[in-house]
């Protein structure tokens, strides 16, 4: 009986921590050597993944993204930012500069990760998976992908939708 319970416990523990394919991706923290597997670093959280740029007309969205992170963070929500130079080369070449800009200009505290390719034809594993699930790649900086606690795509939102957009906020609330 004890062995059966231990075996069952091991199976349940393993399945509880099984990575959803979209988040079973390793990413290096911005301007750092630390690499994490996203599903292990943010288990059972509602995740908003955004391809960012420091020198874009949509860059002020950092304020709104940080506000979402602060508003819903204690409820199991996280914003993950991935700087990208794919659209208009509007990101600093050096990751240290990207990190400094985000922190000093917009007070960004949500997790930021390595420079990443998000555009069709260039996308790395994370954005390839997101595009496959959503049926479209980002067309510009600040495209947003919302994933539920199960790691499945809920929806994606184009750059033009600001973080304050009621439709995005309602989708986050529903996922929480």
Catalytic residues: 56
Both tokens assigned to 98: 């990207």
DSSP H helical ranges for 61-134:
61-72, 95-106, 125-134
Buried b / exposed e along 81-105 (16+ C-beta atoms within 10 A): bbbbbbbeebbbeebeebbebbeee
Phi, psi torsion values for 9, nearest 5 degrees:
-60, -45
Both tokens assigned to 85: 């130079």
Phi, psi torsion values for 101, nearest 5 degrees:
-60, -50
Q: Beta-strand (E) ranges in the chain?
A: 26-28, 35-37, 46-52, 77-83, 144-147, 153-157
């Amino acid at each position: 009986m004890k062995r059966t319970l231990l075996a069952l416990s091991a199976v349940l523990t393993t399945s509880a921590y099984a990575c959803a394919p979209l988040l079973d991706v390793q990413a290096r923290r911005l301007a750092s050597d630390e690499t994490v597997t996203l599903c292990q670093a943010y288990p059972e959280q509602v995740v908003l993944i955004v391809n960012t740029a420091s020198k874009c007309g949509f860059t002020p969205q950092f304020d709104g993204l940080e506000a979402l992170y602060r508003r819903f963070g204690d409820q199991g929500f996280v914003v993950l930012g991935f700087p990208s130079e794919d659209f208009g080369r509007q990101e600093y070449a050096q990751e240290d500069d990207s990190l400094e800009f985000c922190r000093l200009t917009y007070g960004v505290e949500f997790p930021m990760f390595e420079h990443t390719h998000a555009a069709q034809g260039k996308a790395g594993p994370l954005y390839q998976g997101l595009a496959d699930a959503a049926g479209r790649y980002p067309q510009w900086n600040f495209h947003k992908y919302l994933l539920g606690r199960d790691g499945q795509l809920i929806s994606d939102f184009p750059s033009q939708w600001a973080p304050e957009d009621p439709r995005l906020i309602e989708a986050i609330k529903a996922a929480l």
